[in-house]
Amino acid sequence: MRDYFLTCTGCGARYLDDGSRLQCANDHAPALLRSVYPQRAFEPGAAASMLRYSQWLPGARALTTTARTGVYRSTALAAHLGLHELWVAFSGWWPERGATLPTGSFKDLEAVSVLRRLEPSDTRTLVISSAGNTALAFARVCTENDLPALIIVPLTGWTDVMAHTEVGPSVRVVALADIGYEETIAFARDVCANSEFILEGGVRNIGRRDGMGTAMLAAVEAIGRLPDYYFQAVGSAAGALAAHEAALRVRADGRFGSRLPRLMLSQNAPFTPLHDAWQAESPVLLPRSAETAAAQLAGLGAFVLSNQAPPYAPAGGVREALIESDGGTYAVTNRELENARAIFAELEGTDIEPAAGVAVASLTQAVRAGNVAPDAAVLLHITGGGRAALPIRGATHARPTLVLERRELATTAVERARSLLR
């Protein structure tokens, strides 16, 4: 039995959760759904994983996990930046710090939550589109639990999937050659036009956001209150929205602070659609030609931040969260992110992914600009790291289940992909 419901942030409509609903049925401007749980008090459970926060997680299917974000108070990086209370939420692999995400990315949190949300009786194949890390997380969890999944990735992202996990017989991977992330999303939608398949949905899936929101909950538990600032690098900004929604729930408890953490969101220049719109005080994303976008994307050091259509304008989206939290945005160059990665590794003692380097660099920018007071409680979310210590479980020479060329997309590609799990 589900004891929570979904509400539309646009019109307020309520729905019982069927495990897969992604949008409101009413005719209005785009708006995200949000989960509403009956328990108001923040009371972590006893589980030594993200499931200790199951009171604010969707759950219909029994699925266990060891994944959890580790939160600790920094000393070395804090001293380097001149901050008196810097907390690090490490969503990667660093057991010594309590971080036990088996693929080294916060995408493990969303994969577990999305799959737990599905009805146990739902036999449809879940279709996931990804540039790399999400594919990796879903491939691992679906393999371990023998759940059917069809994962659509750009061919360039396949190595990342195979380098850190095994892909079992319940999972099929379709790689699209010479095709970007946005086109993999469109192809996934085409596959799901058949009733045998179910679209995972990305940021629109409340399971994703509630799962990643456990990083904020772990931080509140460690700090004892809501932080003053929250720094994270964003592509789709699902993780930032997750943190904001989790903070809203904690604030409603009344014991952990009345002010929401100020969202400080960073992107990798030159591709910074959210930053550009926010700095221009625009209510929508600014227009960008396909040629301009392609040129900018080619220069990214953190390619996982390459989402071209993040939910900036919709109700419940990024712009609304930035306004509610009195937040801000930053643009970080490749040189800055690599320098930040090196500094973090030297001072804190572990490797971090490029996107996490963007977050560290944005915090550095904010401190130097005087935008963060030295005595503020700052939460820095490292969304991927520790992979140097992960065992290599896959075989990087292996091929995807199916590789499709661009010219095939208009002919038999969709049916060939559907046939893989029939």
Res 168: pLDDT: 86
Res 406: pLDDT: 85
Res 208: pLDDT: 97
- Residue among 211, 81, 88, 209 nearest 141 (CA): 211
Give a yes or no: residue 155 inside a domain.
yes
In a shared domain, residues 229 and 360: yes
Mind listing the pLDDT tens digit for each residue in 306-357?
899 999 999 999 999 999 999 999 999 999 999 999 999 999 999 999 999 9
Res 161: pLDDT: 62
Give a yes or no: residue 229 inside a domain.
yes
In a shared domain, residues 382 and 235: yes
In a shared domain, residues 370 and 270: yes
Q: pLDDT-derived band of residue 380, with 50, 70 and 90 as boundaries?
A: very high
Res 248: pLDDT: 98
pTM value surpassing 0.75: yes
Tokens 């969503």 belong to residue: 91
- The CATH number of the domain where 397 resides is what? 3.40.50
Residue type, 320: E
Res 181: pLDDT: 74
Give a yes or no: residue 120 inside a domain.
no
Res 368: pLDDT: 97
In a shared domain, residues 366 and 248: yes
Q: pLDDT-derived band of residue 93, with 50, 70 and 90 as boundaries?
A: very high
Q: Report the 10 Å Cβ neighbour count for 258.
A: 7
Res 1: pLDDT: 65
Res 265: pLDDT: 98
Listed as own residue / partner, the contacts of 79-85 with beta carbons closer than 8 Å and 24 or more positions apart are: 80/343, 80/347, 81/363, 81/364, 81/367, 82/367, 82/374, 83/367, 83/372, 83/374, 83/376, 83/378, 84/374, 84/375, 85/375, 85/376, 85/377, 85/378
User: What is the enclosing helix (H) or strand (E) of 422?
Assistant: none
Q: Which region among 150-159, 161-170, 341-350, 371-380 has the lowest average model confidence (pLDDT)?
A: 161-170
Tokens 């008196």 belong to residue: 84
User: What is the enclosing helix (H) or strand (E) of 362?
Assistant: helix 354-368
Mean pLDDT rounded to a whole number for the chain? 93
pLDDT > 60? residue 262: yes
At residue 253, φ and ψ (nearest 5 deg) are -65, -40
Average pLDDT over residues 147-168: 79
Res 135: pLDDT: 87
Res 163: pLDDT: 61
> Could you tell me the residue range of the domain that residue 301 belongs to?
70-99+207-389
At residue 324, φ and ψ (nearest 5 deg) are -60, -35
Give a yes or no: residue 258 inside a domain.
yes
Res 162: pLDDT: 65
Give a yes or no: residue 110 inside a domain.
no
Q: pLDDT-derived band of residue 43, with 50, 70 and 90 as boundaries?
A: very high
Res 106: pLDDT: 97
Q: What domain count does the chain have?
A: 2
pLDDT > 80? residue 6: yes
Res 172: pLDDT: 92
In a shared domain, residues 255 and 356: yes
Q: Which residues 6+ apart lie within 8 Å of 414 measured at CB?
A: 187, 190, 191, 193
pLDDT > 60? residue 396: no
Average pLDDT over residues 301-306: 91
Give a yes or no: residue 21 inside a domain.
no
CA distance 200 to 361: 32
The fraction of the chain above a pLDDT of 70, given in percent, is 96
pLDDT > 80? residue 165: no
Give a yes or no: residue 38 inside a domain.
no
pLDDT > 90? residue 292: yes
CA distance to 88, 182, 200, per residue, from 206 (Å): 25, 21, 10
Average pLDDT over residues 366-389: 97
| Helix, coil or strand: residue 151 | strand
The fraction of the chain above a pLDDT of 90, given in percent, is 78
Give a yes or no: residue 39 inside a domain.
no
Res 286: pLDDT: 97
CA distance to 133, 331, 332, 354, 385, per residue, from 300 (Å): 16, 12, 10, 10, 18
Half-sphere exposure of 402 (CA within 13 A, CB side): 20
